[in-house]
Structures are given as structure tokens and as C-alpha cells.
């Protein structure tokens, strides 16, 4: 079956069974390797992408439900202050959890440019990081928020 997906602003036609997980299509068909497999069980958040701006587990979401939806992956964060902030804080050890976390952070900052620490923690609580980088990640999201606010002030 042919399905049209809009990924990072570009329409991509994919031919695959409609029950194929979005994660497989992103990684293996569209060669967007930044979205990661961690559990396939909607439990870790490594595969998080945005669908119409909302965080969604790509490992569980079937492509048949996504015709016409806007899908955003970590590759689209080029130039986004989140990337600069994570590097500035060196918020990563192995880094495997980070692309999913960045997507949830983006969704948060898109709707709330001045999140409190509690807001950040709540937005990221579905994500696991085994390396114990959470404390730096929280600080990186705070830094990204302030970078975004600086940018907004002309």
C-alpha cells in the first residue's frame, strides 16, 4: 500500500503495509537514523517523534494512521537552540536517549517558552536515560528556553 507521509516538511511516498511501525519506515525506508529503537514497547522514549506537534512513540505508531500528518524527527532540529544548548551543557553520555528527549523538549518549548523546572521534568518523565544524564538534560532544556527567548526579543 502507498501512503504519503509528511516528514520534516517534505512529502514522502512510502509503500509498506499500513500496520508497519513508523520507526521502521523512518529508519529503514527514509534513512532517518536519528530516531532510535530502545524497547518497541512505548516504555523508554528513545523513538519519540512529533506528530502534528505532539510527542508520539514511533515504535508503536502505525503508518496507516499518519496520512497527511506532519511528522517531525530529530533531523529537523538543525539550527534549533536545543541542539546548541545540549552541546553547551554537554548533556549526554552515551547519547542514545537524547534524540527522543530532544523531541519532547521541542514540543514543550513550542507550547511553553518559559517552562519551570517542574514543567520540564513532567514533559520528559516518559523518557529513560540509563547513563544518568538527566540533571544535565534538565539544565540544557532550561538553557534552550532562555536562548529561544533571547532570539524572540529583537
Partner 1 sequence: MSASNLPLSFVNNPSPARWFRFDPDRTVHLAVGKVEIGQGILTALMQIAAEELDVPLAAIRMLAGDTDAAPDEGTTSSSLSIEVGGASLRLMAAEVRARMLERAAQRLNCAASELAVVDGAVYRNGAPTGQDYWSLAPDVDLLRPADGRTAPKPPSAYRVVGHSVPRLDLPAKISGAAFIHDMVRPNMLHARILRQPARGARLAALDETAIRRAAGGELQVFRLGNFVALLSPHETVAERAGAAAPLHARWENVRRLTSAQQEAAFLLGQPSEDRLIGDPPQPVSGEMVEARYTRPYLAHAAIAPSCALAESRGGHLSVWSHTQAVYPLRASLARVLNRPAETISVHHVQGAGCYGHNGADDVALDAALIAEAMPDHCIRVQWRREEEFGFEPLGSAMVIAVRAVLDASGKPIDWTQEIWSGTHVARPAMGGNMLAHEALPTPPPEPRPTDPPEAAGGGGTRNAIPHYAIPARRILHHLVPGTPVRTSALRGLGALPNVFAIESFMDELALRIGADPLAYRLEMLAEKPRAARVLTRAAEMAGWSRRGPGGNGHGMGIGFAQYKNRSAYAAVVAEVEAEREVRLRRLWCAADAGLVVNPDGARNQLEGGMLQAASFVLKEQVTFGETGVSSLDWQSYPILRFSEVPEIACELIEAREEPALGVGECALGPTAAAIGNAVAHALGVRIRDLPFTRERIASALLRL
List residues binding partner 1 (CB under 8 A): 17, 20-21, 24, 27-28, 31-34, 36-41, 43-44, 46, 74-75, 77-78, 83, 86-87, 90, 92-99, 102, 121-122, 124-125, 127-138
Least distance CB 6 / partner 1 (angstroms): 19
| Cβ-based neighbours of 154, under 8 Å, separated by 6 or more | none
Helices 98-111 & 117-124 angle (0-180, nearest 10) = 130
Least distance CB 96 / ligand FES (angstroms): 5
Quote the CA–CA distance of 84 and 68 in Å, as a whole number. 31
**Alpha-carbon distance values, 88 to 15, 30, 61, 114, 118 (Å):** 40, 30, 33, 19, 22
CB atoms within 10 A of CB 14: 18
By beta-carbon proximity to ligand FES, the closer residue of 37 and 138 is 37
Q: Which does 116 bind (CB under 5 to 8 A by kind): ligand FES, partner 1, none?
A: none
**Chain residues in the site for ligand FES (CB under 6 A):** 37-47, 57, 59, 92-97, 129-131, 133
Amino acid at each position: 500500500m502507498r501512503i504519503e507521509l509528511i516528514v520534516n516538511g517534505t512529502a514522502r511516498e512510502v509503500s509498506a503495509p499500513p500496520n508497519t511501525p513508523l520507526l521502521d519506515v523512518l529508519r529503514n525506508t527514509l534513512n532517518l537514523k536519528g530516531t532510535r529503537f530502545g524497547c518497541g514497547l512505548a516504555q523508554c522514549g528513545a523513538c519519540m517523534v512529533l506528530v502534528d506537534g505532539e510527542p508520539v512513540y514511533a515504535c508503536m505508531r502505525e503508518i496507516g494512521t499518519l496520512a497527511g500528518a506532519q511528522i517531525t524527527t530529530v533531523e529537523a532540529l538543525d539550527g534549533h537552540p536545543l541542539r546548541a544548548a545540549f552541546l553547551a551543557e554537554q548533556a549526554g553520555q552515551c547519547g542514545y536517549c537524547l534524540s527522543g528527549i530532544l523531541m519532547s523538549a521541542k514540543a514543550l518549548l513550542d507550547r511553553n517558552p518559559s517552562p519551570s523546572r517542574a514543567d520540564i521534568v513532567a514533559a520528559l518523565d516518559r523518557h529513560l536515560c540509563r547513563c544518568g544524564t538527566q540533571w544535565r538534560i534538565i539544565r540544557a532544556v532550561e538553557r534552550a528556553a532562555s536562548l529561544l527567548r533571547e532570539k524572540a526579543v529583537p
